[in-house]
């Protein structure tokens, strides 16, 4: 006569709050564009929040309005409970990621977290769990300059440089300590190619945890930067002449404890599942690009050449391909994975991972055939050569990306009609607003001569 398992974690949270003298609990959620939102509750309200959720007026939140005229509910996910590390002194503050519910308790179609949950549930129906290991790049700039000035990087070091007194190095150390204290494991960190550019890689985790972790990561990195008197940015392409910041993501599917991408003896040790998954990513890459690269600025990075992927192709250790198969290390079956390189760190991670997963699953369900891999540097080919090889270009601008996405049933189905519609309209408006700007480049180029 047990009734369906009741979340024990909720009890753990309530006890911890008691024991650690937590006075405020922030309930975090994410709007459709990927901005972190927070509502603070007193611990006393938390018990009700776990069972029924807490009502709030969502009408002013991007993408939440118009789902219903009534208030929505935020319902914390107790498994994400963490004490925030930057309030060591005095009474503590903790946070939990939350789901957004309709007044009748059903999940809200506007909630990006549910979009990802729903897609992961579809994967689970096929027997898969989705794991991700993200490499997050960002820039550190001096001080807090005005928005119009060209930002000044904190150093002039390069890829993997170890500068003895580099502010970036100390910064990374502190950021990593703080991340670890919130239960987010860091795999790897180093100086990136651009001046002041950093990379921190998170340990692989299931897609929902990874998306939660990325949201936390972005906040912590900015918080630590503030403490150092510098500014951290995840803007995809902040400097014209230096590389942009991406968020290469290593994706893998597991069936239980087994890596479904691994097949000993196959080419690159890639199983049929992996090959179909990659084919799905490539086939649907153009239509999901608006989600994985959602800002006008994202396309400045994608079209900049160098290591940015602009064509839907795959390769083994090919750093210009959209999908790269990392070198297989013998004896590391569980680490077989594919790296999707278009994504940038300013995406909404919930939506981006949902569309990536959906594209890959579509490939598996439709038994897509994987086209031959590309060994060449795609950027060095002529456009005719690329056409001959059947390399489809990714959209070159937000406008193109949105136009392709608008016709995509895959994206509509994955995001749900509400988010799909909001996203399209918001991005169309962004592009229109951008198009009417007269830029410095135009004035510098035309004013003297025209």
Partner 1 sequence: MLTPGGLARLGFADPGRALADVSAVAETGAATGSPVSAQVLAGILAQAADPDAALRTLARLQAARPSALHEPLRRVAAGDTDWLARIVAVAGMSTTLAEHLIHSSSLELLDSPLASVDSFTAELVHRRLVDPVAGARDLTAAHRVLVRCYRDCLVQLLARDLCAQWPMSAVSVELSHLADGVLAAGLMAIRQARPELADARLAVIALGKAGGLELNYVSDVDVVFVAGDEDTAAAGALAAALVRFISEPGAGGVLWSVDTALRPEGRAGPLVRSLASHLGYYQRWAQTWEFQALLKARPAAGDLALGESYVRALSPLVWSAAAREGFVTDVQAMRRRVEEHLAEQGPDRAARQLKLGRGGLRDVEFSVQLLQLVHGRGDVLVRQSATLPALEALATWGYVGTQDAAALGRAYRFLRTVEHRLQVRHLRRTAVLPDQAGERRIIARSLGMTADPDRSLNDRLADERREVRRIHEKLFYRPLLTAVARLAPGETRLTADAATERLRVLGYADPAAAWRHLQSLTSGVSRRAAIQRALLPVLLEWFATAPEPDGGLLAFRRLSDALGATPWYLRTLRDEGATAEHLAHVLAASRYATDLLMRAPESMAMLADEAALQPRSATELGGEAAEIVRRHMEPTAAVTALRALRRRELFRIAAAQVLGTPPMAPAGPALAALTDAVLAAALSGVSAALAADRGGALPTTVSIVALGRYGGGELGLGSDADVMFVHDPRPGADPAEAAAVATAVITTLRDLLHAPHTDPPLLLDADLRPDGRQGPLVRSIAATCAYYAEQASAWECQALLRARPLAGEELPAQLVAVIDRLRYPAGGVPLAAQREIRRLKARMEAERLPRGREPGRNLKLGPGGLSDVEWTVQMLQLSWAAAEPGLRVTGTLAALTAAREIGAVSAVDAQALTDAWLLASRLRDAHVHIRGRADPLTDSVPVGARELAAMGHLLGLPAGSSGDIWEQWRKVSRRAREVTERIFYHAAPMTLRRIPATPSRG
- Least distance (Å) from partner 1 to the CB of residue 191? 43
- Least distance (Å) from partner 1 to the CB of residue 409? 8
Residue 84 CA to residue 100 CA, distance in Å, equals: 22
Residue that the structure tokens 């609990």 belong to: 25
**b/e sequence 421-445, b meaning 16+ C-beta within 10 Å:** ebbbebbeebbeeeeeeeeeeeeee
Of 14, 93, 389, 403, the one binding partner 1 (CB under 8 A) is 14
The C-alpha torsion from 64 through 69 and 71 to 74, rounded to 10°, is -30
Distance of alpha carbon 119 from the chain centroid: 15
Of 133, 284, 341, 418, the one binding partner 1 (CB under 8 A) is 418
Would you give the DSSP letter of residue 293?
S
Helix (H) or strand (E) holding 137: strand 129-142
379: Cβ–Cβ under 8 A, 6 or more apart, which residues? 305, 306, 310, 320
Q: Which of residues 45-64 bind partner 1 (CB under 8 A)?
A: 48, 51-52
**b/e sequence 345-370, b meaning 16+ C-beta within 10 Å:** bbbbbbbbbbbbbbbbbbbbeeebeb
Of 251, 325, 416, 427, the one binding partner 1 (CB under 8 A) is 416
Q: Which of 68/397 has CB closer to partner 1?
A: 68
Of 407, 439, 441, 447, the one binding partner 1 (CB under 8 A) is 407
Within 10 angstroms of residue 274's Cβ, the number of other Cβ atoms is 28
Of 129, 272, 412, 431, the one binding partner 1 (CB under 8 A) is 412
Q: What size, in residues, is the chain? A: 450
- Least distance (Å) from partner 1 to the CB of residue 70? 5
Of 67, 176, 214, 232, the one binding partner 1 (CB under 8 A) is 67
- Least distance (Å) from partner 1 to the CB of residue 42? 16
Choose one: 2-10, 161-169, 221-229, 291-299; the region binding partner 1 (CB under 8 A): 2-10
- Least distance (Å) from partner 1 to the CB of residue 398? 21
- Least distance (Å) from partner 1 to the CB of residue 107? 7
Residue 244 CA to residue 324 CA, distance in Å, equals: 18
Question: Are residues 299 and 395 in contact, defined by beta-carbon separation less than 8 angstroms?
Answer: yes
Of 19, 44, 60, 69, the one binding partner 1 (CB under 8 A) is 69
Per-residue x/- track, 158-177, partner 1 (CB under 8 A): --------------------
Per rule CB under 8 A, count of chain residues that contact partner 1: 36
Per-residue x/- track, 359-398, partner 1 (CB under 8 A): ----------------------------------------
Choose one: 136-144, 252-260, 294-302, 408-416; the region binding partner 1 (CB under 8 A): 408-416
- Least distance (Å) from partner 1 to the CB of residue 403? 13
Question: What angle, 0 to 180 degrees and rounded to 10, lies between the N-to-C axes of helices 112-125 and 349-365?
Answer: 20
Verify binding: residue 2, partner 1, rule CB under 8 A: yes
Strands 82-83 vs 129-142: parallel, antiparallel or unpaired:
unpaired
- Least distance (Å) from partner 1 to the CB of residue 58? 13
Question: Are residues 255 and 272 in contact, defined by beta-carbon separation less than 8 angstroms?
Answer: no
Question: Are residues 157 and 166 in contact, defined by beta-carbon separation less than 8 angstroms?
Answer: yes
Q: Which of 2/380 has CB closer to partner 1?
A: 2
Residue 32 CA to residue 73 CA, distance in Å, equals: 16
Residue that the structure tokens 């912590």 belong to: 220
CA atoms within 13 A on the CB side of 252: 25
Q: Which of 46/364 has CB closer to partner 1?
A: 46
Q: Which of residues 244-303 bind partner 1 (CB under 8 A)?
A: none
- Least distance (Å) from partner 1 to the CB of residue 99? 13
Verify binding: residue 1, partner 1, rule CB under 8 A: yes
Residue 212 CA to residue 219 CA, distance in Å, equals: 11
Q: Which of residues 90-129 bind partner 1 (CB under 8 A)?
A: 102-109
Q: Interface residues with partner 1 (CB under 8 A)?
A: 1-6, 8-9, 11-12, 14-15, 48, 51-52, 66-70, 102-109, 407, 412-413, 416-418, 420-421
């Amino acid at each position: 006569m047990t009734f369906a398992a009741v979340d024990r974690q909720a009890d753990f949270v309530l006890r911890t709050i008691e024991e650690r003298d937590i006075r405020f609990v922030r309930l975090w959620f994410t709007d459709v564009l990927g901005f972190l939102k927070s509502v603070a509750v007193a611990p006393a309200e938390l018990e009700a929040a776990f069972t029924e959720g807490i009502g709030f007026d969502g009408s002013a939140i991007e993408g939440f309005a118009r789902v219903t005229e009534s208030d929505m509910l935020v319902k914390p996910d107790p498994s994400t409970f963490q004490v925030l590390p930057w309030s060591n002194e005095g009474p503590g503050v903790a946070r939990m990621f939350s789901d957004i519910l309709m007044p009748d308790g059903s999940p809200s179609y506007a909630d990006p977290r549910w979009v990802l949950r729903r897609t992961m549930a579809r994967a689970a129906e096929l027997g898969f769990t989705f794991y991700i290991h993200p490499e997050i790049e960002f820039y550190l700039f001096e001080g807090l300059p005005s928005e119009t000035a060209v930002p000044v990087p904190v150093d002039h070091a390069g890829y993997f440089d170890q500068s003895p007194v580099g502010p970036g190095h100390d910064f990374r150390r502190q950021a990593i300590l703080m991340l670890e204290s919130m239960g987010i494991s860091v795999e790897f960190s180093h100086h990136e190619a651009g001046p002041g550019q950093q990379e921190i890689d998170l340990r692989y985790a299931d897609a929902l945890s990874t998306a939660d972790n990325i949201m936390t990561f972005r906040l912590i990195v900015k918080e630590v930067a503030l403490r150092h008197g510098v500014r951290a940015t995840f803007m995809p392409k902040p400097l014209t002449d230096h590389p942009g910041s991406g968020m290469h993501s290593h994706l893998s599917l597991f069936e239980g404890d087994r890596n479904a991408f691994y097949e000993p003896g196959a080419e690159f040790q890639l199983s049929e599942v992996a090959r179909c998954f990659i084919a799905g990513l490539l086939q649907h890459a153009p239509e999901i690009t608006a989600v994985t690269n959602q800002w006008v600025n994202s396309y400045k990075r994608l079209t900049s050449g160098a290591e940015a992927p602009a064509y839907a192709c795959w390769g083994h250790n090919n750093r210009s391909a959209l999908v790269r198969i990392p070198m297989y290390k013998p004896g590391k079956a569980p680490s077989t994975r594919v790296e999707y390189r278009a994504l940038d760190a300013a995406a909404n991670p919930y939506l981006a991972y949902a569309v990536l997963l959906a594209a890959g699953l579509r490939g598996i369900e439709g038994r897509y055939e994987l086209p031959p891999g590309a060994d060449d540097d795609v950027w060095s080919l002529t456009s005719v050569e690329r056409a001959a090889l059947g390399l489809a270009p990714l959209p070159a601008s937000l406008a193109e990306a949105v136009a392709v996405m608008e016709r995509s049933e895959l994206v509509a189905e994955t995001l749900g009609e509400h988010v799909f519609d909001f996203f399209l309209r918001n991005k169309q408006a962004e592009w229109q607003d951008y198009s009417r700007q007269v830029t410095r480049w135009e004035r510098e180029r035309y004013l003297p001569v025209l």
